[in-house]
Amino acid sequence: MKLSDMRRLLEAGDIRLTKSLGQNFLHDGNQLRRMVGAAELTRADKVLEVGPGLGPLTERLVAEAGEVLAIEKDSRLVEFLRQRFGDALEPIAAPGRKPVLRLIHADALKFLRDAPHDWRNWKVVANLPYSVASPILVELAQAARPPERMVVTVQLEVAQRLTAGADAKDYGILTLLIQLRYTAHGGFKIPASCFFPAPKVDSACVKLLRRPEPLLDLAGAATFTRIVKRSFSQRRKMMLKLLKEDWPAEALRSGFAEAGLSDSARAESVTLDQFVTLTRCLAPGGDAQA
């Protein structure tokens, strides 16, 4: 879908984009191809797309995947998508054609929170709405059965947080909550000019691959989240002092020693592995496999 096509379709449907919904549609064909290539799709794949918009990415997903679940919040765009993809849409596919696309009119974040799903054999490929990109990624990463991989376009600063390491300025809560379950690979920057309307920030596509084995079980992951959030609640304060609000000093001293942390350590200098080790000490059984 070219930019001229996108403009024409919006005008024909009298659709005015809503800034609050983060409606900046990726139209550049080269960038869309790179995204789909990073997903390495086959006809055996099931794909979740959040925020399909006018469907330029959806079109490519339908062509290459076996099943696509698209969640769109804007009712005007839902109706447009139903008309555009009628032949491939469940449950109204053309006779003799297997339906590939299932379209849901919903707030994606609310849908993910209210309807737990087994995403283990799914891939996420999406241009995530800027306003909810981070919470959607966290929700999927913390699911009991998270997706196999996620190829997503987000704001450049969010991409930098997803891929950061300890002591980097972008390292923080989002980094750790995602990296507990995923490793980041092969990201690429996408200029604002590739979107309509062009946002005021640059974007990037990031590929997140689920770890072959979980670092913590579900109970341990919940404790990990508590530790990380408390540790970053006041970045300038020593982590030990912050954690004493929730855990006894003796357990913390033992955990810090096991993780190789000094009493003066601050959260931004603590690695993922050290947070995991500390979690295992504070939540017995947290190292069991999920």
**Domains of the chain by start residue, with CATH:** 3-210 (3.40.50.150), 218-282 (1.10.8.100)
3-state SS, residue 73: coil
pLDDT at 288: 37
Burial (Cβ within 10 Å: 0-12, 13-18, ≥19) of residue 196: buried
Cβ atoms < 10 Å from Cβ of 134: 19
pLDDT in tens for each of the 290 residues of the chain? 666 767 776 777 667 766 666 678 899 999 999 999 999 999 999 999 999 999 999 999 999 999 999 999 999 899 999 988 987 776 544 455 567 999 999 999 999 999 889 999 999 999 999 989 999 999 999 999 999 999 999 999 999 999 999 999 999 999 999 999 999 987 899 999 999 888 889 999 999 999 999 999 999 999 999 999 999 999 889 999 999 999 999 999 999 999 999 999 999 999 999 999 999 999 865 443 33
pLDDT given for residue 252 in this prediction: 97
Closest by CA to 71, choosing from 51, 91, 47, is 51
Looking at the whole model, is its pTM more than 0.75? yes
Rounded to whole angstroms, the Cα distance separating 56 from 58 reads: 6
